[in-house]
Chains A and B, each alone.
Chain A
């Protein structure tokens, strides 16, 4: 039973570029959430997708966008990259929305902006 998988594991970009991160949820899960973890901080919620729609969004600018596909996999897109976007990006999946189910995390994508 595959867990949450994220790709790529590492990525280096320059300021102003665009990036796409990918996530496949744990088998049987239908909800995907994305988090950004900056150095020394806890993961910060970006947004959540359920039934191919963005259902909740954290305090992130419109440069951050996403998508969920019919197979429940998801993408996170970041446009016009800034140095401050350098972080670990975590994807988490769960069964159903709401807070009563534990989230299952991937290993993350380490994004470095030069």
Chain B
């Protein structure tokens, strides 16, 4: 059973703070890494899909990096805003018989105005 770890479990920051989360995953047979944002009472929304070691993706104030050799990814939010409050899920995808996305438990971010 593959284990995907996300840290921290929860985070409370003030508006304007920058923050980052970590996703750790087994690197063997790795194929792609997905990040999703899940706001309360909404459906999960795709942020990034990354595949290559050293990949860096950016979407507005949010960016992510990927290290496939050591099996981790960082998600950064610059200048957090209250609307960034959500649970951020990472999910590696493995080829072969491992199935579909393997989700971590997520990092719950709360941004206070």
Q: How far apart are the CA atoms of A102 and B91 in the complex, in Å?
A: 11
Size of interface on B: residues with Cβ below 8 Å to A: 27
Query: Would B49 and A105 count as touching, CB distance under 8 A?
Result: no
Also in contact, A40 and B105, with CB within 8 A (given A100-B49, A105-B43, A106-B43): yes
Q: Which residue on chain A has the smallest CB distance to residue B4?
A: A42
Q: How far apart are the CA atoms of A54 and B93 in the complex, in Å?
A: 18
Query: Would A42 and B43 count as touching, CB distance under 8 A?
Result: no
Question: Which residues on A sit within 8 Å (CB–CB) of B91?
Answer: 42
Flag whether A74 is at the interface (Cβ < 8 A). Answer: no
In the complex, per-residue mask of A42-80: 1 if CB is within 8 Å of any chain B CB, else 0: 111100100000001111000000000000000000000
Q: How far apart are the CA atoms of A112 and B36 in the complex, in Å?
A: 25
Query: Would A33 and B100 count as touching, CB distance under 8 A?
Result: yes
Q: How far apart are the CA atoms of A109 and B34 in the complex, in Å?
A: 23
| Contact size range, A | 20 to 34
Q: Which residue on chain A has the smallest CB distance to residue B92?
A: A99
Also in contact, A99 and B34, with CB within 8 A (given A42-B4, A42-B104, A104-B46): yes
When the two chains form the complex, which single residue of B36, B42, B51, B89 contacts A100, counting CB atoms closer than 8 Å? B51
Query: Would B103 and A43 count as touching, CB distance under 8 A?
Result: yes
In the complex, per-residue mask of A84-113: 1 if CB is within 8 Å of any chain B CB, else 0: 000000101000001111111111100000
Q: How far apart are the CA atoms of A33 and B34 in the complex, in Å?
A: 15
A-B contact pairs, 24 of them (CB 8 A): A3-B43, A33-B100, A42-B4, A43-B103, A45-B99, A45-B101, A45-B103, A56-B97, A56-B99, A58-B99, A58-B100, A92-B44, A98-B31, A99-B32, A99-B34, A99-B49, A99-B93, A99-B94, A99-B95, A99-B100, A99-B101, A103-B34, A105-B36, A107-B43
Minimum-distance CB pairs A-B, first 7: A99-B93, A42-B103, A102-B46, A99-B32, A105-B43, A45-B100, A105-B44
